[in-house]
Amino acid sequence: MRLKHKTALITGAGSGMGRLASQLFAKEG
């Protein structure tokens, strides 16, 4: 993903798709 200079706001990061998305964003930096 191209996330340089981007901000992500993830709601519901405790479970389900929100959790998966937050882990992927954290991995990308």
pLDDT digits (tens, 9 = 90+) for 4-29: 788 888 888 788 888 888 888 888 77
pLDDT for 16 equals: 84
Specify whether the CB–CB gap between 24 and 18 falls below 8 A: no
Total domains in the chain come to 1
Residue 1 has pLDDT above 70, yes or no: no
**Residue 12 CB contacts under 8 Å (≥ 6 apart), including other chains:** 18, 19
Structural domain of residue 12, as residue ranges?
1-29
Specify whether the CB–CB gap between 6 and 28 falls below 8 A: no
